[in-house]
Amino acid sequence: MAFLKKVKSREVFMGKLSHGGDLLEEITDICRRENIRLGRVEGLGAVQKARLGFYNQQTREYQFLVIDQPLEITKLVGNVSIKDGSPFVHAHITLSDKAGNAYGGHLAPETVVFACECIIEAFDGPIFERKFDETTGLPLWAISE
Amino acid sequence: MAFLKKVKSREVFMGKLSHGGDLLEEITDICRRENIRLGRVEGLGAVQKARLGFYNQQTREYQFLVIDQPLEITKLVGNVSIKDGSPFVHAHITLSDKAGNAYGGHLAPETVVFACECIIEAFDGPIFERKFDETTGLPLWAISE
Amino acid sequence: MAFLKKVKSREVFMGKLSHGGDLLEEITDICRRENIRLGRVEGLGAVQKARLGFYNQQTREYQFLVIDQPLEITKLVGNVSIKDGSPFVHAHITLSDKAGNAYGGHLAPETVVFACECIIEAFDGPIFERKFDETTGLPLWAISE
């Protein structure tokens, strides 16, 4: 069953990430610094290289893939919640190369920012905590009615 | 001519969809249950299989395509408005496979959720009703100045 | 270093762009007409043809690519800020063809709308002005703590 909870916009941050920084780490650091424990993330820009995850639904393991070349970020989308007591960013990314071909996946560490403009919206709301989910093998939100 | 209307954020819902559920149907059900008649939808996650529509601009018919394998949802984006008197979700989806290749299209029924985290924002505003549009053959919003 | 500033939602516009219009120009015109100097943009729909930019990080020049066929817009994402004193839209786009393959890049002029439903959110906040950035060669936001 689907479980959705009401949340409320608290504040919105807009800006740019560091050239050469780790994309996922930069966003996570901002969330921790600003005490964003619930929220949404969006962005666009370019990366110097990307590392993407694909969750193998059968073996229940993430497989990682490195695309070691400059790519446009056509879309970064993510959310912020709590894992192991700290703000945790879960993001997926869509990228494109010089021929216009698109790539994508779960944003993994070691994706290097060339330039990235992003918006982070902090929500007030119930605690969204990630716990191991038996059905999928993933750390999903332990929320219910 | 472009027609845009002012709308106002009423409430925001954040949560997860059901493992094994029909992605489009789940979101539509939430909108009907929460009486969301105008809004926006975003999400990320993974599907067990996808069914995508592509609108043939010449024949004016949707062509459908099934990708019968697990894929990451790198981005789900949609809006909520009224069609035939009820809340109607129009969404497009971008997906990726284990090699990082991206796919996408109009989200059609029979796309099966593996895991999906989504945000639905309800708006207050004028009625956005879909009616047959002569120019495109699509059910577009009948709004004008 | 990452620099993010607090911004505040002022108003939200939702609607459709003109069939046959230039996608980037239409959104830019709306921002100028409504005096949106800071904001975010999102959309979905279809184009008659697309023109995409890819920034060559080595030569520091945009390379452009035309895909001269109907495509679904699986995601349009952008932001609004100031360049040369006027509202300027920076957007990236993800597209898909009839086989479900995805394409993407920096949204360039001469991308022609078939149908496009979009949301533009105007923010109040500090001035985000684009100025030449030495490190990347791009017109990035001149913001700092």
CA distance C113 to C44: 11
pLDDT digits (tens, 9 = 90+) for C67-115: 999 999 999 999 999 999 999 999 999 999 999 999 999 999 999 999 9
Nearest to B46, CA basis, from B11, B78, B21: B21
Average pLDDT over chain C reads 97
pLDDT-based confidence at residue B143 (cuts at 50, 70, 90): confident
CA separation for the pair A62, B47 (Å, rounded): 15
Contacts of A65 in chain B (CB under 8 A): 98-100
Q: Does A16 touch chain C (CB under 8 A)?
A: yes
pLDDT band at C145 (very low <50, low <70, confident <90, very high): low
Query: What confidence tier does B103 reach under pLDDT thresholds 50, 70, 90?
Result: very high
Among candidate residues A95, A91, A87, A89, the one with its CA nearest the CA of residue A107: A91
Alpha carbon distance A35, A104 (integer Å): 29
Query: Could you tell me which chain B residue has the CA closest to the CA of A96?
Result: B102
pLDDT, position B144: 75
Name the pLDDT band for A145 (thresholds 50, 70, 90).
low
pTM: 0.97
How far apart CA B76 and CA B54 sit, in angstroms, is 16
Helices (H), chain C: 23-33
How high is the ipTM of this complex? Answer: 0.96
Residue B145 is predicted with a pLDDT of 60
- Least Cα distance to A109 among A45, A26, A40, A38 occurs for A26
Alpha-carbon Rg for chain C in angstroms? 16
List beta partners, residue C118: C15, C43
For residue A98, give the nearest of C63, C128, C143 by CB distance: C63
Report yes or no: C115 at the A interface, CB cutoff 8 Å: no
